């Protein structure tokens, strides 16, 4: 099973918390699933969860170089020089990043963030689409800051073949193993999608469903 979840801003990427913060448990009642990779508390968008160990490793491990795509709202009118710098690789404290796909985009028609970002009246903002295959801590934010354009809002829209599509914040979608195998078959590096799913296969496939829950 694979769960696609649109993580809202200020939600912890875990099911329990001792301090009473909002967690995944406030939205997803599915048992025995675990996040495949993470998404920072102050970031939004696509998070994948699964009950398959091999699939979790495939999604989360940097060694498989699964592409992750983000929309980032940055401070300032980003220029061609900064875009090219992101494409070529940015020097960070833990080394130069791998080449990325980067382009400027118009402001996407997505949900408003709650709470809104802090904007300066005299400083404009702009949006970029950035795709990376690494998984360093807070990498996108560090990359744009190093290029001179700090990230104000970050939304992950895709991980490999899986996309947010019409999922709204707090909504999730379940994929059965049959649907999951079809998704994986589109990846050129996966010759036998069933190999990733041979652990924990359910006895009966369940139809895909979309759900929405609010924090308690």
Which residues are tagged catalytic? 40
Alpha helices in the chain (DSSP H): 53-60, 80-88, 139-146, 177-184, 193-197
Instruction: Choose among 5, 53, 42: nearest CA to 27.
Output: 5
Measured CA to CA in angstroms, residue 186 lies from 2, 146, 162, 179 at distances of 16, 34, 11, 12
Instruction: Choose among 212, 214, 216, 171: nearest CA to 20.
Output: 216
Please list, in sequence order, all residues whose beta carbon lies within 8 angstroms of the beta carbon of residue 89, skipping any fewer than 6 positions away.
Answer: 96, 97, 98, 99, 100
């Amino acid at each position: 099973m694979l769960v696609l979840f649109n993580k809202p801003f200020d939600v912890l990427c875990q099911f329990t918390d001792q301090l009473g913060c909002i967690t995944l448990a406030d939205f997803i009642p599915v048992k025995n699933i675990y996040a495949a990779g993470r998404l920072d508390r102050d970031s939004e968008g696509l998070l994948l969860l699964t009950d398959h160990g091999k699939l979790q490793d495939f999604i989360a491990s940097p060694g498989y170089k699964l592409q992750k795509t983000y929309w980032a709202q940055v401070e300032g009118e980003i220029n061609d020089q900064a875009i090219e710098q992101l494409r070529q690789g940015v020097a960070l404290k833990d080394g130069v990043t791998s080449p990325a796909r980067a382009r400027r985009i118009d402001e996407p028609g997505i949900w408003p963030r709650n709470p809104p970002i802090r904007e300066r009246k005299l400083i404009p903002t702009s949006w970029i689409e950035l795709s990376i295959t690494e998984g360093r801590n807070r990498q996108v934010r560090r990359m744009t800051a190093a290029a001179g354009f700090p990230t104000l809002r970050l939304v992950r829209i895709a991980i490999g073949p899986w996309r947010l599509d019409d999922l709204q914040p707090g909504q999730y979608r379940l994929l059965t193993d049959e649907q999951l195998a079809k998704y994986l078959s589109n990846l050129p590096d996966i010759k036998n999608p069933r190999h990733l799913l041979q652990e924990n296969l359910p006895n009966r496939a369940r139809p895909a469903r979309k759900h929405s829950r609010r924090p308690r």
